Amino acid sequence: MIINFLKSIAILFFIMIFISCKENKRPFKSVTSFLDIETKKIEVYVGGEGANTIVFESGLGVDGKTWLESGIFDSLGSDNQVIAYNRSGYLKSTENSEKRGIPELVNDLHVVITKKSKNGKVVLVGHSLGGAIARAYAVKYPDKVKALLLIEPTNENFKQYALMSQEHEDMLVKQFTIEKLNGAANECSQLIENREFLKKLSSLPNIPVTVITSTKTDSEMTPENVSDWIKAHHSLGNGVTKFTHITTNKSGHFVYTEEPNLVVENINRLLR
């Protein structure tokens, strides 16, 4: 979620703390492998077995291992196949020269699902930018998606997103580059293009969709901004018969690390 330049820098700072703290956590045991996608190698984590496959898509600046470390893989892997991966430039996933906008990220996600899912349809779980990727994937490949859980998804209808200028985007790219987070830097360079892409994106297919929105306020997420954020997320339910919108004030943007049980509970509800 990028609401303005100062908020973006704050999120970048939080991501750096988040990454540094992850080393002490023990991830759920899974099988790690690599997929060749065009000229790059993508690191994929696969665990569990079952009649359902759950695929996790991370937010900007956060690698796929976060879903293992949150305990969510462990909670769901006993009865389901669970899959997460590192997008190009994250951890051991290599880079190439292609741009990293949502259309390109959707293409990579499709290869992961096609090659690794044991089931015909998947439940897609996406956080922040990952929520926008999951949403775009469901629109492009509706026959591959059983249900969607979108956690604090990036949304073009959020008024503060419209305030992002090219200067703000360039500064974010520079900051991520300084931190040697090249995958995030490449994705940051497409933030404005992503906004325009989402504006033109068709409505979601009529599948079960759950959106989780944080209503926690701070100096940037004022009550007015929170209200607009809720409204933007609620608009995702247009035309969706089985749409559920959940709000929480117990966690901030990283709901799945602060309230993993809330995420697991709603994934299980989508599986019923």
pLDDT of the chain, 272 residues: tens digit per residue = 444 444 454 455 445 445 444 544 555 578 899 999 988 999 999 999 999 999 999 999 999 999 999 999 999 999 999 999 999 999 999 988 788 999 999 999 999 999 999 999 999 999 999 999 999 999 999 999 999 999 999 999 998 887 778 888 888 898 888 777 889 999 999 999 999 999 999 999 999 999 999 999 988 889 999 999 999 999 999 999 999 999 999 999 999 999 999 999 999 999 99
* Amino acid 27: pLDDT: 54
pLDDT score, position 191: 93
Domains of the chain by residue range? 5-271
pTM given for the model: 0.90
Q: What's the pLDDT at 178?
A: 78
- The answer to whether the beta carbons of residues 265 and 151 sit under 8 Å apart is no
Residue range 5-271, CATH number: 3.40.50.1820
What pLDDT, on a 0 to 100 scale, did the predictor assign at position 121?
A: 97
Q: Give the pLDDT of residue 5.
A: 42
Angle of CA points 5, 65, 106, to nearest 5°: 65
| 3-state DSSP of the chain | CCCCHHHHHHHHHHHHHHHHHHHHCCCCCCEEEEEEECCEEEEEEEECCCCCEEEEECCCCCCCCHHHHCCHHHHHCCCCEEEEECCCCCCCCCCCCCCCCHHHHHHHHHHHHHHHCCCCCEEEEEECHHHHHHHHHHHHCHHHEEEEEEECCCCCCCHHHHHCCHHHHHHHHHHHHHCCCHHHHHHHCCHHHHHHHHHHCCCCCCCCEEEEEECCCCCCCCHHHHHHHHHHHHHHHCCCCCEEEEEECCCCCCHHHHCHHHHHHHHHHHHC
